[in-house]
Each structure stands twice: as structure tokens, then as C-alpha cells.
Structure 1
Amino acid sequence: MSPIYFSLVTILLSIITITHATTITVVNNCDYTVWAAADPGGGRQLNKGNTWNLNPAPGTKMARIWGRTGCNFDGNGNGNCQTGGCGKLVCNPGNWGTIPKTLFEYTLAQPNNPTDTIDISLIEGFNIPISFSPTSNSGALGGNCRTIRCTADINGQCPQNWRVPGGCKSPCTSQGIGTCGANGDSRFYKQRCPDAYSYPNDDPTSTFSCPSGTNYRLTFCP
């Protein structure tokens, strides 16, 4: 392979990578500190108004972002949180934190699916209101690429038997996440946050898609 040909290939690959790169900007708009967590990504303390940019690798799948509240960490970054804690400031891969927590999930474009798949899940409960917005390509794919949100006062309206300090449990945590379904309990969440998953097979109304390379903004307390 000639040096010129190699250079052209390198440039083209770089352009393709840049074109399909995704940035997720996490914003804390709450009046309190949120310790954001992400897998992949780790974790970061976000005071009111702070932001955190995540740059997941192309093809990232089954990724999660959530907020933790009421945290205390020592000088080594070890500690606990009232909700969503993983035992550390920077969560280890695969440690998805304690419940309840409002969860954002995404899978970037795959070889067999050229779009990003995104959702908000309340299957593990609720702790912080969130929204997730495309900051590019909004309105693409027939309007399915749009802002999704769960901003209702879930903690204030939470049934007494689901209440825990700082959050609201999901019926799925007591019924079994793999077996809970559409019923009166799950409708509590669905009626208040229709964009979000309230039980595992709630795909038709809770899964959204955006073109590969879309940038996003996740806001706590939008």
C-alpha cells in the first residue's frame, strides 16, 4: 500500500468516525447536587448548573445514565448515596446502582440497525425528573427523534407503600422485574410519564430512535 493511499484511507476513516461521533451533554438543573453516573462513563458530581460531556464509542450498546442523590464520598471516592448509589463516585462498569432511580438507556447504531435507540425507564423506580433531547436531527425518522421526558412529581404522588427516602419504588421491584406487566400498579407511572417504560415489555410507546451521529442533552430537573 502506497503512503499516499494509506493517508487517504486514514483521512476517510477519520471523517467517518467524526461524522458518526455522539456527544451526550448531562446537565443538572436541580436546586440540589446530583452525582451523575454512567456506564460507560463512570460518574461525576454536578452542582446546580454544572454539565458533563460523555463521548461514547460508536456502537456502544445497553448503556445507562442515571442520577444519584444524597451522596457522601471520602477522599478516595468511596461512599454511599440515598438513591442510585454504586459505592463509589466513579461507578465501575456493570455496577448500575441501587434502586430506586430514574434511568436513561441507549444503544448507538449497530451494523443491523443504523439508528440510535433511546428510552427512559421507570422499571427500577424514580428519584429525579429528567428529559432527554436530541440537539441535532430533531424531528427525524417521522418525528420519533424528539424530546422524551419524565417530569411529573412522582416522589410527591408516590403511593405510601412504595415510598422510600428520596425516591419512589417501582411495582416491578416487588413483583419481579422479569414478570411484572401492564396493570393498575404500572399505570401509576405510565399515566404520569407516558414516554417512559413502566414495565419490561412496554416497547411500542417507550422506545425512540434517532439517526446515527445525533448529539443529545440529558437534563436533571428540566
Structure 2
Amino acid sequence: MYWLGPAPPNTLAEYALNQYNNLDFYDISLVDGFNIPMEFSPTSSNCHRIICNADIKGQCPNELRAPGGCNNPCTVYKTNQYCCTNGQGSCSSTGFSRFFKQRCPDAYSYPQDDPTSTFTCSSTNYRVVFCP
């Protein structure tokens, strides 16, 4: 699959519905950077609401600043340290990913940030809100 969307930085809402054990998987990802605040909310009260509405553009480290947003370090440096290109377990949290994680604790901050950033729910609808 090829992504033909706009160039980074982009805040992403990602979801896969009715997957393994009839679960929906959803997340907010900052792996392609940040350009707008976002909320991803299941309408069912027993599922986790995720939100990323921090002032990331205003607080963005100088090295990651981009017109209209804040790049993820992979976009800027293109190394395994930030992109995790050498496969599972080949990278870990960095100072830059901690910058994103501190401001948006539920969002993906680097490509292998699955344990703290992927959420599941079932039998519900969702709201995606831009600039909450």
C-alpha cells in the first residue's frame, strides 16, 4: 500500500474495525509529525478516549520545526534510531519521542510505541474531532 496524502507533518487517526476477536483497534499517531490537535472517542463509555491537544507546534524543538507543524525525527534524520527500519526491537524511545509522549501520552510517539498507544473496543461507534 502506498500513502499518497500530503507531506508530513501530519497528525493521524488510525483504526482497524472488526479485527481479531471482533475488536476494533484505534490510535492517534505522531509518527508522521503533528499539525493539528485531535480527539478519537468511542461513543461507548467503557472504552478509552484518546486526545492530543497540546501546543506541540508552539513548543516544537527547533530541529523538528516545519511549516504548519512539527516533524517527527524520522522525517528529519531518516535513521533507524528514529524510524525503526531494522525491524521489531531495533529502536526505542528517544528524547524527541519523549517530547511528543509527554504532551500526548496516548499517542504514538515513535514507530514501535505499540504498548502505550494502541487501544481496543468493540460494538461501538467513534467520533474523530479535529482541533478539540
Short-chain TM bin: 0.7 to 0.9
Structure 1 residue 114: Cα displacement? 1.1
SS at match of 2:106: coil
Which has the larger share of strand? 1
Q: Which has the larger radius of gyration?
A: 1
Q: How many residues align?
A: 123
2:88 corresponds to: none
Q: Taking structure 1 as the reference length, what is the TM-score of the superposition?
A: 0.52
The separation in 2 between residues aligned to 1:181 and 1:169, in whole angstroms, is: 18
Aligned to 1:67: none
Residue 221 of structure 1 corresponds to which residue in structure 2? 131
Aligned to 1:96: 5
Q: CA deviation at 1:149?
A: 0.7
In structure 2, C-alpha distance between the alignment counterparts of 1:181 and 1:168, rounded to whole Å = 20
- Give the structure with the higher percent helix: 2
Question: What is the distance in 1 between the residues matched to 2:38 and 2:100?
Answer: 14
- 2:117 maps to which residue? 206
Task: Classify the secondary structure of the residue corresponding to 1:181.
Answer: coil
Separation in 1 of the partners of 2:48 and 2:10? 23
Structure 2 segments unaligned to the other structure (5+ residues):
86-90
**Alpha-carbon offset, residue 113 of structure 1:** 3.0
Identity %: 60
Higher relative contact order, chain-length normalized (CA < 8 Å, sep 6+): 2
Q: Helix, strand or coil for the counterpart of 1:113?
A: helix
User: One-letter code of the match for 2:66?
Assistant: V
Which residue does 1:163 correspond to in 2?
65
**Matching residue of 1:119:** 27
TM-score, scaled to structure 2: 0.85
Q: Distance in 2 between matches of 1:94 and 1:185?
A: 24
